[in-house]
Structure 1
Amino acid sequence: MIVLILLTIIVSFILYRRYFPVLGVHFINLKDLKDDNIMIIDIRDYNECNNDPIKGSINIPIAYLNRNINEIPDGDLYIIASSSLEKNVGVRFFRHKGFRVVGYSISDNNKISIEEKSLKVENNCC
């Protein structure tokens, strides 16, 4: 019985870290980003980033974040991800490393989109 409870807790924790939305980080359209001191971090895969490059961003795929964390200068971050799962993992990783994530966008084939509370909003990305 205790083993089953522990297993349930571990599985719940893993699912929470991956799929539960990160609180306090909001969708911001890339065009509306006003502060020049905010670093744009593209955590999409290299292939996806090459098909839809974002000017001025640093591309470090999510799988390589821990290895290349020293390439990211201190300061506020704006994240570009390819899915909500990737966004959640990335934001939690950066917060754990002491960075402040001010916003995010989710890229989907030349469109920046976000789905929240069954409302889908799409904006074209430059």
Structure 2
Amino acid sequence: MTASSVNEEAQESDALGGSFFTHYLTSGLMGAADDDRNEVVTLDEAYRHVSEATIRATSQTLAGTQHPTLRYKLRGQGKLALTVPNSRCGRSPGSASASERARLHYHVPCAGELPGSRPPPGAARGQ
């Protein structure tokens, strides 16, 4: 996954305090990208979220619209889980189906474990 297409520059936002792409990717991994509300953010959900949000946010900038890209080659079945939003960390698998839980037998980091992540507002340290 890249922040922009080959002939574009990744843009920064003063209002966001950083790049559009990083902002929307991080918010997506923390739960905003969980389209099916199963409390698991997959690669497809994260890319769809970051792409749509970045395109929408940069469409009115002086530099022009920025287009994140995704190219991957995987073999196997099922969706690739990237993270479990904080609402599910340390709890039962919630609304994820039995088949989804069975596929999540590897470590899927909670959003709070992501590098540079901040705890959600109101969360106590160590929780």
Fold agreement, TM-score > 0.5: no
TM-score, structure 1 normalization: 0.26
Higher helix share: 1
* Greater fraction of residues in strand: 1
* TM-score, L = length of structure 2: 0.25
